[in-house]
Structure 1
Amino acid sequence: MKIPLLEKRDYDAVVVGSGPNGLAAAIAMQQKGLSVLLIEGKETIGGGMRTAELTLPGFKHDICSAIHPLAISSPFFNTLPLANHGLEFIHSPIVAAHPFDDGTAAVLHNSLSQTAESLGADAAGYNKLFRPLSANWEDLLPDVLSSLKWPQHPLQFAQFGLKALPSAKFIADKYFKTEKAKGLFAGMAAHSMQALDQPLTPAVAMVLMLSGHHKGWPMIAGGSQNLANALARYFLSLGGKIETGQVITALDQLPSAHAILFDTGPQQLMQIAGHKLSAFYKWQLKRYKYGLGVFKVDWALDDVIPFTASDCREAATVHLGGTFAEIAFAEKAAAFGKAVDRPFVLLAQQSQFDKSRAPQGKHTAWGYCHVPFGNTKDMTEVIENQIERSAPGFRERVIGRHTFNALQMQDYNANYIGGDINGGLQNISQLFTRPALRSSPYRTSAKGIYICSASTPPGGGVHGMCGYYAAKRAMKDVFKIAD
């Protein structure tokens, strides 16, 4: 969506960066009657929500985010009339699939009961792990995606926390007996981008699986860019202003404003506003840790991916990596700086269910594996080998490829330091220090300057909650506006 350049003038607030959190922050403030300018360095808005013809003409590829369980579940996005501004979610018949070498697949269905039943001997364990949380998920999710404030439902949150705090390995061994259930859980926990023997790794798995049971894992019709476009259209309809193609390197480039919110990582914040920040705060930001990077491949295909397991053909998301032990080995190796020959691969096949993504009769696919921070090794062959394990003949259908290594991901989006698409390591040591230990993680040491990116709680994902909470903090501090 092309947005015209606007004249500079005074604003109540300026937001730098138009990812999901920048857009959420801008909307939240504009809704309260403030005048807000949103500035984006690239010619198109969206941050990680961009779509482009990366391989061949007519093939639309999501550059970063592709499947959106947190967008459809977001406590803030759910309050917005985005359907009126062109947003359409598309669901695949099966939420996600996880194939094994024997030609079978474990499956996440929208129905919790159906998922449990499909796991056979582990049906009881699956129900024991998820059913108590699922019964209260609509109330619990806002606490899970919170700003680390006291939960509104403390007993339910404690129930979630007790299961989320140990390692994914501990939870898998406690609740499951079969490789099928353990493998399914491993693929979900691997979204944490950490070794699966680390604390808190079950949290991401549980959020994703419970979200799947409630609102599914949809894609955005026409590409993830259309989620950004819908958010922008709504913001503009409220009277907000957007400038694109404006790379900000110093505060004096910005118009006068009472509050400035940065949808950037700590490093960019220091580069732009470092002279305003205290030495201690900058010391904290410099200690902020980043996690694994990603190597990503987009494919143009002349036919669908020929998965052996039929369930995989019905799922927009497919997790490739085999057993829990295989996935755990690959993730731990990456965490210790080694790129492996059999990585965990997260694959999306949007054109199976959204025909607008490719020319008639053709298809797209999207996939990445985790690699050591900043790694530049070409992982195309090993990723395609993992696909071939479950879909023999896949390579014969490839008619175009595009790749990003970890540093190329950083070059594309400066928030992805070292290829870390989560905006920083989401481990237990940074749970309360994201990006610095402060009374509010969104306040910087400079009056009127805030950070609202995925480097703040609740962290990575297309949910907008980091921006929403940062906007609430800024409105309360600067404008004395409270809920």
Structure 2
Amino acid sequence: MPHSTVDAVVIGAGPNGLVAANALGDADWDVVLVEAQDDVGGAVRSAEVTAPGYVNDLFSAFYPLAAASPIIRDLHLEQHGLAWRQAPDVLSHVLDDGRAAVLRRDPADTAAGLDAEAAGDGEAWLEMYDGWQRVRDPLLDALFTPFPPVAAGARMLRRLGASGGLDFARLAVLPVRRLAEERFRGQGAGLLLTGNALHSDVPPDAAGSGVFGWLLAMLGQDVGFPVPEGGAGRLAQALRARAESLGVEVRTGAEVTEVTTSADRATGVRMADGTSIAARHAVLADVAAPALYSRLLARHRLPAKLLRDLERFHWDNPTIKLNWALERPVPWTAREAAGSGTVHLGVDDHGFVDFAADLSTRRDPERPFLLFGQMTTSDPTRSPEGTESAWAYTHVPHGDWSGERLDRHVERMEQAVERVAPGFRDIQLARHVQSPGSLEAMDANLVDGAVNAGTSALHQQLIFRPVPGLGRPETPVEGLYLAGASAHPGGGVHGACGWNAARAALAHQGRTGRMRRALASTAWARLT
């Protein structure tokens, strides 16, 4: 069988795999990046799936974490074709009665809107933003480093002091509804925080949901919710172009069926076509943890406790996504939503709890919470002038989402939009439905349509991710590293999972010095 040997093989060309390949390439390693799909990007891809001239993001679409990530920023992807675009406003939450809460680009403008609803809420919002600015850099560094984040955590504590550190620790476990109740009098701030919290799968009354809502809302005030000009796929293509400029070989349409091992050490990969690639130093897997341990390592003897823990691996909820080509802008009742890239809709503050309860009890939500993307509003290149390329997604319970059940829920989703934008159905030129099964078919890491490679709840974060006792990219197999979103810090397009895996591989070989010199004064220097 044909056989080749390189320093490292990276499995999977999602954003984490692409970042890992770039990091290894910066250290002058000979790297092959293999991807089962015909194009790179994983859940960062775009295509014309509705109508000619309408670019639709197939999975993720808005990238505050990428814009804030020191890892992504210091790759200087603008030199490889990436340009960011922003909508006039970041986000709106629209209610069925025509009211809306708006997160605007300028925190002072957001505060003014909140204060108009409830005096004092504007000042409380700005106080929250001031607190964010105080911890921003060390917090982001802590989020994006392997657990425990000793250096970044120490810097953060120095800024906060003992009392401030305790307050932040409380925020980290506070439910988002309680956070809103403690800080604000009106409904608007709570809608913004809770809607952002539900970008994860953590219920609004659950511990830890507050920090998710706070983080995304503050990132929205800080870097906005930017999109790549021309489609999400442009971000992946820029990562690929940079990697290839370093000599990384990218092979698409190349499925890995096995990680080969010898004497408890990873030695390479075997491909579906029967070929093999040997790895001198490392194999990095941008795949879901269950797929790595149960499928790619099926012939390798693994610790019994690890296998038992994997049986308890908790997936996040499936996703249904609709894509539309619209002949004109969305006719929102709340006109404030017209300039927002992201719009939350379908529920009020109590409806969040009902929606989360439906998911927890595996009932089909009668009133789903929707995240709606106005992509042409964010980036005018996405569709012809005067039109809109749009999408919406919602989470659903695990189960069979096909046939009549899928059709009924698509109807509920469109009804939710129609309630806040009467006439929405009349302006549709085309619609494309992505079920949980079709999402997984397009990206094997999106198992049953779960987009975060495992729940974001506290019981599967930090040292519990992907199973208790790990929390780092290293695996029980020497030279094999988990580089996907099942590893800490989890889902989102920030590149940290791939970056951490590359750092671990380089450190094991004593090659981190070369990478530090290549990336002096960058994320590598700060995060080490």
Question: What TM-score bracket applies, with the shorter chain setting the length?
Answer: over 0.9
Mean CA deviation greater in 356-365 or 111-120: 356-365
Q: Which residue of 1 aligns with 2:490?
A: 459
Once the two structures are aligned, what percentage of the paired residues are identical? 32
* Match status 1:481 vs 2:512: yes
Q: Give the 3-state SS of the residue equivalent to 2:464 in structure 1.
A: coil
Secondary structure of the residue that 2:254 maps to in structure 1? Answer: coil
**CA RMSD of the aligned region, Å?**
1.8
Alpha-carbon displacement from aligned partner over 1:8-36 (angstroms, at most 9, x marks no partner): 62111110001110011111111111111
Q: Secondary structure at the match of 2:315?
A: coil
Alpha-carbon separation, structure 2, partners of 1:103 and 1:197 = 26
Residue deviations 1:335-366, cap 9 Å, x none?
A: 22112121110010111242322234432111
Kindly indicate whether residue 415 of structure 2 is the aligned counterpart of residue 420 of structure 1: no
Q: More deviation in 348-357 or 301-310?
A: 348-357
In structure 1, what is the Cα distance between the partners aligned to 2:95 and 2:136? 30
- Aligned counterpart, 1:102: 97
Between Structure 1 and Structure 2, whose CA radius of gyration is higher? 2
- What is the identity, as a one-letter code, of the residue corresponding to 1:268? A
Alpha-carbon distance in 2 for matches of 1:402, 1:218? 24
Q: For the residues of structure 1 that align with 2:381 and 2:301, how far apart are their CA atoms? A: 47
Distance of 1:351 and 1:143 partners within structure 2: 34
Q: In structure 1, list runs of 5 or more residues that go unmatched.
A: 1-6
What's the counterpart of residue 371 of structure 1?
396
Please tell me whether the aligned partners of residues 139 and 156 of structure 2 are also in contact (alpha carbons under 8 angstroms): no
Query: How far apart, CA to CA, are the structure 1 residues paired with 2:105 and 2:322?
Result: 28
Distance 1:417 1:277 in 2: 24
Question: Does 2:79 correspond to 1:84?
Answer: yes
Question: CA distance change for structure 1 residues 124 and 361 in 2, over 3 Å: closer, same or farther?
Answer: closer
Q: Does residue 390 in structure 1 map to residue 403 in structure 2?
A: no
- Residue 152 of structure 1, CA deviation: 4.1
SS state at 2:253 partner:
coil
Q: Which residue of structure 2 aligns with residue 229 of structure 1?
A: 237
Give the structure 1 partner of residue 338 of structure 2. 313
Q: Does 1:350 align with 2:375?
A: yes
What is the CA distance between 1:127 and its match in structure 2? 3.1
**8 Å CA contact 1:441, 1:457 repeated in 2:** yes
Question: Do the aligned partners of residues 273 and 478 (structure 1) sit closer, same or farther apart at CA in structure 2, a change above 3 Å counting?
Answer: farther
- Counterpart of 2:519? none
Establish whether residue 137 from structure 1 lines up as the match of residue 136 from structure 2.
Answer: yes
Q: Larger deviation: 473-482 or 228-237?
A: 473-482
**Structure 2 residue matching 1:275: 3-state secondary structure:** coil
Shift of 1:440: 5.2
Instruction: Measure the CA separation in 1 of the matches of 2:229 and 2:140.
Output: 25
Counterpart for residue 146 of structure 1 = 145
Residue 256 (structure 1) aligns with: 278
Q: Does 1:59 align with 2:54?
A: yes
| 2:347–2:367 CA contact under 8 A, matched in 1 | no
What are the Cα deviations for residues 222-242 of structure 1, in whole angstroms up to 9, with x where unaligned?
100000000000011111110
Q: In the alignment, is the contact (CA less than 8 A) between 1:277 and 1:445 conserved in 2?
A: no
Q: Does the CA contact (< 8 Å) of 1:295 and 1:405 recur in 2? A: yes
Cα distance, 1:282 vs structure 2? 2.6
Distance of 1:344 and 1:40 partners within structure 2: 33
Any idea what the Cα deviations from partners look like across 1:305-358, whole Å, max 9, x if unmatched?
A: 111222211011111133211122112211221121211100101112423222
Q: Deviations over 1:208-252 (max 9, x none)?
A: 111112111111111000000000000111111100000111233
TM-score (normalised: structure 1)? 0.94
Q: List alignment gaps of at least 5 residues for structure 2.
A: 260-269, 517-528
State the distance in 2 between where 1:242 and 1:435 align: 27
In 2: Cα distance, 1:85 partner to 1:140 partner: 28
Q: Deviations over 1:69-115 (max 9, x none)?
A: 11111110010121111101001110111112332211112222221
Instruction: Select 1:443's aligned residue among 474, 485, 495.
Output: 474
Does the residue aligned with 2:25 lie in a helix, a strand or coil?
A: helix
Question: Which residue of the partner structure matches residue 273 of structure 1?
Answer: 297
SS in 2 for 1:256: strand
Cα distance in 2, alignment partners of residues 354 and 58 from structure 1: 13
Amino acid at match of 2:124: G
Other-structure match for 2:521: none
The aligned counterpart of 1:126 is 125
Higher mean alpha-carbon deviation, 81-90 vs 360-369, is at: 360-369
8 Å Cα contact 2:27-2:511 kept in structure 1: no
Partner residue, 1:362: 387
Task: Provide the C-alpha distance between the structure 1 equivalents of 2:301 and 2:247, rounded to a whole number of angstroms.
Answer: 31
What secondary structure, in the 3-state scheme, does the structure 1 residue paired with 2:351 have? helix
More moved, 439-448 vs 61-70: 439-448
Residue-by-residue CA offset, 1:360-392 (whole Å, 9 max, x unaligned): 443211110110124513221111111112111
Alpha-carbon separation, structure 2, partners of 1:29 and 1:147: 17
In structure 1, the partner of 2:460 is 430
